[in-house]
Amino acid sequence: MSVAQAWLVVIVLTGVGASLAGANDLRSPESFSSIGDQADRSRSLFVEAGRVLQHPRCLNCHPAGDRPSQGEDQHPHTPLVVRGLDDKGATALRCVTCHQAANFTPSGVPGHPLWQMAPREMAWQGKSLPQICEQIKDPRRNGGKTLTQIHEHLAHDTLVGWAWAPGGSREPAPGTQAQLGALTAAWIETGAACPTR
Amino acid sequence: MSMTLNVNGTRRDFYGDPDTPLLWVIREQLGLTGTKYGCGIAQCGACTIHVDGVPLRSCSAPVAAMTGRAITTIEGLASRVAKAVQKAWVDLDVVQCGYCQSGQIMSAVALLEKKPKATDEDIDHALAGNICRCATYQRIRAAIHLAAKRLASKEGA
Amino acid sequence: MICEQRPTLSRRDFLRSSGAAGLVLGFACLPACRALTASPVDGPAPPVHAPFTPNAFIRVAPDNTVTIVCKHLEMGQGNTTGLATLAADELDADWSLVRTEYAPSDPKVYNNVFYGEMQITGGSTSIANSFMQMRSAGATARAMLVAAAANAWHVPAAEINTANSVLTHASGRRATYGEMAAAAGRLPVPKDVALKQPQHFTLIGKQNATPRVDSLSKCNGSAIYTIDVTLPGLLTAVIAFPPSFGAKVISFDSAEAMRVPGVADVVQVPEGVAVVGTGTWAVLKGRRALKVAWDESTGASLNSDAVLAQYRAQAQQPGVPFAQPADERLDMGVFVAAVPGQVINRRIGGAAEHRAARGQPARSRAQDPHHHRRTAGEPRYRRRSRQLARAAVLHRQARGRRLHV
C-alpha cells in the first residue's frame, strides 16, 4: 500500500468512525474549531457539556426541592426520601440505608461511596442551561470552587463519574467523563462564557 | 469466599458468594427469620436491619461489605429505646399481619435513638420507606410517640 | 402466644371416651405429663395430670393454662384473639393464662358453620360463625370444672363461683382450673350448657380487656410465617412468569441456570418455568440466568391503558344490585379491584402431598386447607411433587401468611 493509500484508509476509517459514533457520544473540543468567535465557541462548548449536566443521571440528584427524582422520566424518588439536614437523608432513612458503595445488581439499586444529594444551592432541575452555567461559575453557589476546581470535579470526581456507569437498565450520560473533562477544559480556556438561551 | 460476621454481638461464619444479599445470609444461613423479604428491591423496608446503628436494607447490600461492621437484627434489639418501642407496639395493638413490623420497628428504634423528640414530620421521613399493606400507619405513629414519651419521663420504658 | 407444638392427635382423640381408666389423649404430653413415670407394679399410670379436653376447642392444663384452638386463619385481622375471647369469657378464664393454637385441617370438626363442611376463613365470617360455637365450648368446659369442684367439695354447683381461672365457694374452698382439670376430665360432657347474659360479659365487647395474643411475637421477630419455615431437605423454587397474562412457554434454556451453585433443577410448570434449589438466593440467581422463549400471542393483550379504557366503558353500564337495605338500593360495578401485595406463598411438601393422597391429614395451611389436601392428591400435583421434591414455592412477591403448624 502506498502512503497515499494508507492516508486514504485512515481518513475513511476516521470518517466511518465518526459516523459510527452514536448520538450518545460527546463532541470533541476540536470539532468546535470551526466557530471563529471565541466567546461563541465557548458558549457552544458549554451547550455540548450541558447534554451531560441536564441528563437524568445528573439532574435526579440536583433537584430544587428536598426530594430527589428517579428514572429517565424523573418521577419522584420511591420510596419517599428527603435530603435531610446534610443532604445525606433524613434521620433513620439515610441515602446509605439503601445505596451502597457500588451498584448492586441483585436489588437494582445504584451505588457509590459518597451517595447523596447535591446541596440546595446546586439545584439544576427547573433551571435553564444559562442559569446552570452561571451557578457553576459562582463560588457562592458552587461550593467555593475555582474554575480549575470545577474542571477537576467534572473530569475526575467519581460520584460524577457514576453517571457513565449507572448499572442496571439506567441510560448512562452521553459520552465519557474524559470527554466531559475535555469539553470543560476547552470551555474554560475559551473564557467560560455562558449560553444566552 | 469465607468471612466472619458480627451479628447481634455474636461472631458468625459465612461461606459463599460475596455478592449474596445480606438478607439471605441472615435469614437462611444464620436462621434469623425475623428480618423479612418483601420485594428485594429496596422498596418496602421489610428487610431493614441496623449496621453500626444505622438502618440498612439488607436486600440491597452484599454480605462482603459487612467486614468489621456490627449487624443488629430484630432479634438482637436490646437497648432501652428498643424495649420501649416494642412495648408501645404491644400496648397499642399496632400489629395486624405483622409482616412489615420487624422493619418498622428497626426504623422506629433508629429514629428515636437519634431523635428522642421525633416530630410527626420526623416520623414521616424516617418511616416513609417502610410500607404496611394492613395500613397500621396511624398506630405506628402513635406507638412511636408513646415510646418517646415514656422514654422521656423518669420511669423510662 | 402462638403454640409451636405439632399436635399429632387424630380426630378420634377429640371425642370423649368415658372408660374407667379416664381419658387417654393422643396429645404430645406437656412437660408436666412427661415427668410422670409408669409404676412398675401397677402397669402404666393413668394420665392423672393429662389436660382436660372437653371438646375440639379447649384444653385446660395442670399448670392452669388454657389453650384455645382457633379454627380460622389469622391474617392480621385479629380473629385469633377474637375467637379466644369468646371462649375465655364463657370459661371465666384468666386472660393472661390463655394460650392459642391453630386447628389442623379437619373440615368435619373445624368447618366454618356458615359454609357447610368447609374449613375456610373468609367473607368476614370468622367471629360470626364461631360466636355461639366458641362460647358454647367455653361454657361447657366451665360447667364441667364446676361440676368437678361440686363433687370434690360436696356443695351444690350453683354455689360455686368462677373468675380468672379460679373456682371458689363461700365456705372458703378454692381451686384453680388446673388443679380441677383432671377431675373434670373424668366427667361426661354436658350438652346445651347455658351461656352468659351479655351484661355479664367480662371480655366480650370490653375495650382493652384482651390485647392481641400475637403482638409480641410479631414485634420481636419470633413469629413464623410460611416463608420462614425450614425443614430438613427443603428445597426452594421460584417461578419465571410470563411477561403478559396467558403467554405460554415455547422453550427454555436452563444450561446457565443449572451451573449456578445450589440450583438443583429447572422444570416447566403450568405457570411458567420453575427453578428449584437450595436457598432462595441460589434460585433467584438461577432464574436470572434462565432463558425462556415466550409465545405472547396467546396472552391477553392487556396493558394499563387498555384496562382503564375497559373500566371507563364498564362504568357507563348499569350496575348489579349488590344489597338492598330498607331504604336504599346500592349498585356496584361488576369489577372488583384485585388485591396487590397479597400472599401467594405456599409450602407444598412432597411428603404432605403424599400423605394427603393417602387420606391422612396434611399440614399445609391456607384459607381452605382442605382444598389443598384435595388438590394435592390430584395426579398432576403428584407428578409435580416428585419433580419438585418437597420444594417450597415462592411467588415473586412472596411474603407468606402466618404459618400455624
Q: Give the CATH number of the domain where residue B123 resides.
A: 1.10.150.120
Segments forming the whole domain that contains residue C364: 226-300+339-394
Picking from C155, C186, C219, the residue at the C-terminal end of a domain is C219
- pLDDT per residue over A148-179, tens digit each? 999 999 999 999 999 999 999 999 999 999 99
**Do A185 and A29 touch, CB atoms closer than 8 A?**
yes
Residue B140: domain span: 80-152
CB under 8 Å to A30, separation ≥6 — which residues?
Answer: none
Question: Taking a C-beta distance cutoff of 8 angstroms, is the pair B35, C221 a contact?
Answer: yes
Residue in B82, B71, B11 with CA at minimum distance from that of residue B35: B71
Confidence at C302, pLDDT banded by 50, 70, 90? confident
Q: How far C77 CA lies from chain B's nearest CA (Å)?
A: 6
Question: Which of C246, C282, C244 minimizes the C-alpha distance to C266?
Answer: C282
Give the whole-angstrom CA distance, residue B101 versus residue B90: 11
In this structure, are C259 and C375 located in the same domain?
yes
Give how far A81 is from chain B: nearest CA, Å: 7
The answer to whether residue C4 is domain-embedded is no
pLDDT of residue A13: 53
8 Å CB contact of A93 and B125: yes
Q: Are residues C143 and C164 in the same domain?
A: yes
Q: Which of B60, B85, B105 to mutate to test the interface with A (most CBs of A within 10 A)?
A: B60
Together in a domain, B72 and B6: yes
What is the pLDDT at residue A14? 52
C-alpha of A6 from chain center: 38
Q: Check if C75 contacts B (Cβ < 8 Å).
A: yes
In a domain, B157, yes or no: no
Instruction: Tell me which residue of B40, C108, C352, C99 sits closest to A104, measured CA to CA.
Output: B40
Residue C109 phi/psi, 5-degree rounding, is: -100, -40
Choosing from B76, B105, B140, the residue where a domain stops is: B76
Task: Calculate how close chain B gets to C260, using CA atoms only, in Å.
Answer: 11
Q: What is the pLDDT of residue C244?
A: 86
How many independent structural domains does chain C possess? 2
Encode pLDDT of C329-362 as tens digits. 444 433 333 333 343 444 444 333 334 334 333 3
Q: Which residues contact B121 (CB under 8 A, 6 or more apart)?
A: none
Q: What is the pLDDT of residue A1?
A: 61
B61 and B85 within one domain: no
Q: What is the CA radius of gyration of chain A?
A: 19
| Residue at grid coordinates 437523608 | A89
Q: Kindly state the DSSP code that residue C225 receives in the 8-state scheme.
A: B
Residue pair C339/C397 in contact by the 8 Å Cβ criterion: no
Output DSSP code: residue C119: -
**Per-residue confidence (pLDDT) for residue B142, from 0 to 100:** 98
- What's the pLDDT at C226? 93
End-to-end CA distance of chain A: 50
Q: Which residues pair with C263 in a beta bridge?
A: C277
Q: Which three cell numbers stand for residue A55?
A: 441528563
Best CA proximity match to C90, nearest among C130, C149, C50: C130
Pairing of strands C166-169, B48-51: unpaired
C76-98 residues labelled b (16+ CB within 10 A) or e (exposed): bbbbbbbbbbbbbbbbbbbbebb
pLDDT the model gives residue A36: 94
Statement: residue A34 has pLDDT above 60:
yes
CATH assignment at residue B64: 3.10.20.30
C82 and C109 both lie in a single domain: yes
Nearest C-alpha neighbor of A118 from the set A64, A179, A46, A43: A64
Give the span between the Cα atoms of A46 and A191, in whole angstroms: 11
Do C243 and C383 fall into the same domain?
A: yes
Beta bridge partners, B4, equal B13
The per-residue pLDDT for range A70-121, each reduced to its tens digit, is: 999 999 999 999 999 999 999 999 999 999 999 999 999 999 999 999 999 9
Are C165 and C286 in the same domain?
no
- Measured N-to-C along each axis, helices B120-127 and B137-152 cross at an angle, to the nearest 10 degrees, of 120
Neighbouring subunits of A (3+ Cβ pairs under 8 A): B
Which among B61, B76, B91 is the end of a domain?
B76
Q: Does B89 touch chain C (CB under 8 A)?
A: yes
Whether B33 contacts chain C with CB within 8 A:
yes
* A149 C-beta neighbours (distance < 10 Å), count: 13
Looking at the fold, whether C45 and C140 belong to one and the same domain comes out as: yes
Query: Is residue C380 within 8 Å of residue C117, measured between CB atoms?
Result: no
- Is the same domain home to B27 and B46? yes
Q: Partners of C393 in the beta sheet?
A: C237, C346
- Angstrom distance (rounded) from CA A44 to CA A151: 17
Residue B6 sits in the same domain as residue B72: yes
**Boundary residue ending a domain (C219, C244, C262):** C219
Name every chain B residue with its beta carbon within 8 A of the beta carbon of C397.
38-39
3-state SS of chain A: helix, strand, coil percent to 5? Answer: 45, 5, 50
The minimum CA-CA distance between B110 and chain C, rounded to whole Å, is: 15
The Cα A1–Cα A7 span in angstroms is 10
Buried b (16+ CB within 10 A) or exposed e, C351-363: ebbbbbbeeebbb
Please, where are the H alpha helices in C29-125? 31-34, 79-91
Domain boundaries defined on chain A = 35-189
Parallel, antiparallel, or unpaired: how do β-strands C58-60 and C66-70 relate? antiparallel
Residue B67's CB is within 10 A of a number of other CB atoms, namely 10
C-alpha angle with apex C124: C118 to C125, nearest 5 degrees?
45
How many other C-beta atoms are found inside a 10 Å radius of the C-beta of residue A123? 19
CATH number for the domain spanning C282: value is 3.90.1170.50
Tell whether C281 lies on the interface with B, counting CB pairs under 8 A: yes
> Is some CB atom of chain B closer than 8 A to the CB atom of C310?
no
Last residue of a domain, one of C219, C242, C259: C219
Q: Looking at beta carbons, which residues of chain A come within 8 Å of B45? A: 79
In terms of domains, do C271 and C192 share one? no
Q: Give, to the nearest 10 degrees, the angle between helix C350-357 and helix C369-376.
A: 80
Asked if residue C191 and residue C250 are part of one domain, the reply reads no
Domain identity same for C15 and C56: yes
Looking up residue C104, the CATH number of its domain turns out to be 3.30.365.10
Amino acid at A166: P
How far from the centroid of its chain's Cα atoms is residue C359's Cα? 19
pTM of structure: 0.80
Classify C83 as helix, strand or coil: helix
How far is it, in rounded angstroms, from Cα B108 to Cα A119?
27
Secondary-structure breakdown of chain B: helix, strand, coil percentages, each rounded to the nearest 5: 45, 15, 40
The answer to whether residues C277 and C221 touch, using CB atoms and an 8 Å cutoff, is: no
Query: Do both C198 and C288 map to the same domain?
Result: no
State pLDDT tens for residues C98-107.
999 999 999 9
Contact C27, C54 (CB under 8 A): no
Whether the CA torsion C323, C327, C332, C337 is positive or negative: it is negative
- Cβ contacts below 8 Å, chain A against chain B, sum to 86
Binned at pLDDT 50, 70 and 90, residue A6 comes out as low
The mean-pLDDT minimum among A21-35, C93-107, C208-222 falls in A21-35
User: Mean pLDDT throughout C256-278?
Assistant: 96
CA distances in angstroms from C144 to C59, C96, C184, C190, listed in the order given: 12, 21, 5, 8
Give partners of C (≥3 CB pairs < 8 A). Answer: B
* Residue B96 forms contact with C (CB below 8 Å): yes
Judge if C94 and C212 occupy the same domain: yes
Percent of chain C with pLDDT over 70: 67
pLDDT (tens, 9 = 90+) of chain B, 157 residues, equals 999 999 999 999 999 999 999 999 999 999 999 999 999 999 999 999 999 999 999 999 999 999 999 999 999 999 999 999 999 999 999 999 999 999 999 999 999 999 999 999 999 999 999 999 999 999 999 999 999 999 999 655 4
* C 27-66 residues inside an 8 A Cβ radius of B: none
Q: Which residues of B touch A (CB under 8 A)?
A: 19, 21, 40-43, 45, 48, 54-57, 59-62, 65, 107-108, 110-111, 114-115, 118, 122, 125-129, 131
Residue pair C292/C272 in contact (Cβ under 8 Å)? The answer is: yes
**Domains contained in chain B, number:** 2
How many helices (DSSP H) and strands (DSSP E) are in chain C?
11, 16
The pLDDT confidence band at residue C50, using thresholds 50, 70 and 90, is low
Percent helix / strand / coil, chain C, rounded to 5: 30, 20, 50
* B131 vs C396, higher pLDDT: B131
Q: Report the C-alpha gap between A21 and C333 in whole angstroms.
A: 55
If you average pLDDT over every residue of chain C, what do you get? 77
The reported pLDDT for the residue numbered A5 is 65
Is the domain of B91 the same as that of B110? Answer: yes
Given a cut of 50, whether residue C21 has pLDDT beyond it is no
Closest Cα in chain A, distance from residue B117 (Å): 12
User: All 3 cell numbers of residue A192?
Assistant: 467560560
Residue predicted with more confidence, C80 or A8: C80
**pLDDT band per the 50, 70, 90 thresholds, residue C324:** confident
Average pLDDT in the C45-60 region? 75
Contact list, A91 vs chain B (CB under 8 Å): 110-111, 114-115, 118, 122, 125-126
Model pLDDT for residues C225-257, shown as the tens digit of each residue = 999 999 999 999 999 999 888 899 999 999 999
Give the model's confidence band at C374: pLDDT under 50 very low, under 70 low, under 90 confident, else very high: low
